[in-house]
């Protein structure tokens, strides 16, 4: 992708990017405009704003290989869905909306300042979300005694059934994880004491938000992200051991036992087979692979009987269809191998934009880890059109398109290992 010279973002650009994050975090609690969510309307405004203020840049962005690859995947899905009776294109159009969002963010996130403000918004709103979790659930989770995954899951349901935030608990944990990881990265590299103090407070609070929902997805993402940060920063052995022990002690003291009980179920296969819907869904996937592998079953057919007939249900409600807890498998079931291959090609194209040389650079590290979260998230959730992907991949492309790092030269950081 040809880059433009370094550009200065406008104050309004930064305000829009800052407000976009809470619009996504609290989407389920915000009012709808007709059938459209507030965040969808917000993205629509950003598209209009970007096309109005930067028409040439948007035209160039929408002619890149990244947009072409996304449209290719969309077309393949449309063809495969149309080959089935009574086609429904809702999920395809949601993906297309996410793709447009990526290029809207890339169009207005035109410099490092805009990126910093966007990432800080993640840190701040994650902390706000975490405060709500702490006030609502910490005391009850702390006093709960459970034995095994089933009891832990039951407590989780009971504690959060009236929670003020209406979003899925896995997504709440995932969103807090984003803010926590950004906070850790920026805290590590910050030298100003006052800023470091603020970052420390936001990070610690956000970590609570990762763990209190007792989401295995959120916790796995957190530990993977931390491991990547340690590895890419090339911590020395002493520093690695120190920070790892510090984090371990904090988590052991701060996180309620019920959370660890639910996480521990990942290694207890026999228990999962009887109490976890994911296990049953994966078994159903392999039993019926001959029915969907080549051409899929179509979204309408899936929901109108095929899923229930082939065991794609929860353990508690065996007559209600549920999605596969894996975006790659969900695409395969809906639209078959051609769509999955097109999706892998899309991932490959976007992966070429990633700069893996991130040592001693907080912004590159944040972009790198944020991007790697996406395929991990997709392995545990059926959603391949999450709105945070628009911000993540938008910033990734913006850093290339607007040439953020053209003026940087390899330099020995205060945090570089000797």
> Residue range 32-39: average pLDDT?
90
Predicted confidence at residue 412, as pLDDT, reads 39
Six-digit token string for 315: 């353990």
For residue 372, what are the CA distances in angstroms to 82, 350, 387?
Answer: 32, 11, 16
pLDDT of residue 327 exceeding 90: yes
Helix segments in 190-318, DSSP class H: 193-211, 216-232, 237-254, 257-264, 269-275, 277-287, 289-292, 299-301, 307-309
The sign of the torsion formed by the CA atoms of 301, 296, 327, 77 equals negative
User: Cα separation of 263 and 249, whole Å?
Assistant: 17
pLDDT of residue 57: 93
User: Does residue 57 contact residue 4 with C-beta atoms inside 8 Å?
Assistant: yes
Which of 83-97, 194-208, 264-278, 306-320 holds the top average pLDDT? 194-208
DSSP string, 90-146: HHHHHHHHHHHHHHHHHHH--SHHHHHHHHHHHHHHHHHHHHHHHHHHHHHHHT---
Kindly report the average pLDDT of the chain as a whole number. 91
Examine the pLDDT at 411 and tell me if it is beyond 80: no
- For the whole model, what pTM was predicted? 0.91
Residue for token pair 């800023």? 195
Six token digits for residue 63 = 């002619």
- Residue 160, number of CB atoms within 10 A of its CB: 20
Where residue 214 falls (left for φ over 0; alpha for ψ -120 to 50; beta otherwise) is left
Contact 386, 245 (CB under 8 A): no
- Residue-level pLDDT at 276: 64
Token code pair at residue 139: 């005391």
- Pair of tokens at residue 133: 């979790």
Which span out of 81-85, 205-209, 232-236, 359-363 was modeled with the highest average pLDDT?
205-209
Which residues lie closer than 8 Å to 286 by C-beta, 6 or more apart? none
Mean pLDDT, rounded, for 390-399? 96
| Contact (Cβ atoms closer than 8 angstroms) between residue 278 and residue 262 | no
What burial class does residue 378 get, using C-beta atoms within 10 Å of its C-beta: 0-12 exposed, 13-18 middle, 19+ buried? buried
Q: What are the phi and psi torsion angles at 394 (to 5°)?
A: -65, -45
Quick one: pLDDT band at residue 417, thresholds 50, 70, 90? Answer: very low
Q: What is the mean pLDDT of residues 217-232?
A: 94
Instruction: Kindly report the number of other CB atoms within 10 A of residue 281's CB atom.
Output: 22
As given in the structure block, the two tokens for residue 258 are: 């019920």
d(CA 59, CA 43): 17
The string of DSSP letters for 351-389 reads HTT-----TT-HHHHHHHHHHHHHHHHHHH-S-S--HHH
Whether the pLDDT of residue 83 is over 50: the answer is yes
Beta bridge partners of 92: none
* Element housing 342 (H / E): helix 327-351
Q: Which two tokens stand for residue 411?
A: 């330099």
For the chain, percent of residues with pLDDT exceeding 90: 80
pLDDT digits (tens, 9 = 90+) for 107-153: 999 999 999 999 999 999 999 999 999 999 999 999 999 888 888 98
Residue whose pair of structure tokens reads 């608990």 in the numeric block:
169
Q: Is the pLDDT of residue 416 over 80?
A: no
230, 185 contact by CB (below 8 A): no
Q: Give Cα 70 distance to the centre of its chain.
A: 18
Nearest to 61 by CA among 393, 348, 355, 358: 393
For the record, the structure tokens of 417 come out as 């290992």
């Amino acid at each position: 992708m040809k880059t433009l010279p370094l550009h200065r973002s406008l104050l309004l650009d930064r305000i829009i990017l800052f407000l976009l994050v809470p619009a996504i975090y609290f989407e389920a609690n915000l009012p709808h405009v007709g059938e459209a969510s507030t965040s969808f309307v917000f993205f629509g405004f950003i598209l209009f704003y970007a096309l109005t203020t930067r028409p040439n840049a948007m035209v160039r962005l929408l002619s890149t290989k990244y947009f072409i690859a996304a449209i290719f995947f969309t077309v393949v899905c449309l063809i495969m869905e149309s080959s089935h009776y009574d086609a429904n294109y809702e999920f395809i159009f949601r993906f297309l909306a996410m793709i447009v969002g990526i290029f809207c963010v890339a169009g207005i996130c035109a410099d490092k300042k805009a990126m910093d403000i966007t990432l800080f918004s993640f840190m701040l709103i994650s902390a706000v979300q975490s405060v709500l979790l702490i006030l609502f659930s910490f005391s009850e989770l702390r006093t709960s005694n459970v034995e095994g995954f089933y009891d832990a899951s039951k407590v989780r349901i009971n504690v959060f059934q009236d929670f003020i935030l209406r979003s899925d608990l896995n997504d709440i944990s995932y969103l807090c994880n984003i803010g926590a990881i950004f906070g850790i990265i920026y805290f590590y590299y910050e030298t100003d004491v006052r800023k470091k103090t603020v970052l420390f407070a936001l990070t610690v609070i956000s970590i609570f938000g990762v763990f209190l929902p007792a989401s295995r997805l959120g916790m796995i993402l957190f530990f993977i992200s931390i491991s990547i940060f340690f590895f890419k920063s090339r911590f020395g052995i002493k520093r690695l051991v120190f920070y790892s022990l510090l984090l371990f002690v904090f988590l052991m003291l701060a996180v309620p036992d019920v959370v660890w009980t639910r996480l521990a179920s990942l290694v207890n296969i026999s228990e999962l087979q009887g109490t976890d819907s994911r296990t049953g869904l994966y078994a159903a996937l392999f039993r019926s692979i001959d029915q969907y592998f080549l051409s899929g079953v179509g979204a309408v057919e899936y929901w109108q009987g095929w899923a229930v007939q082939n065991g794609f249900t929860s353990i508690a409600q065996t007559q209600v269809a549920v999605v596969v807890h894996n975006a790659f498998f969900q695409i395969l079931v809906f639209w078959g191998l051609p769509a999955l291959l097109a999706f892998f090609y899309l991932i490959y194209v976007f992966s070429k934009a990633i700069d893996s040389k991130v040592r001693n650079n907080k912004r590159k590290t944040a972009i790198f880890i944020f991007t790697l979260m996406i395929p991990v998230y997709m392995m545990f959730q059926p959603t391949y059109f999450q709105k945070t992907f628009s911000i993540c991949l938008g910033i990734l492309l913006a850093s290339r398109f607007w040439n953020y790092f053209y003026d940087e030269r390899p330099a020995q950081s205060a945090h570089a290992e000797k």
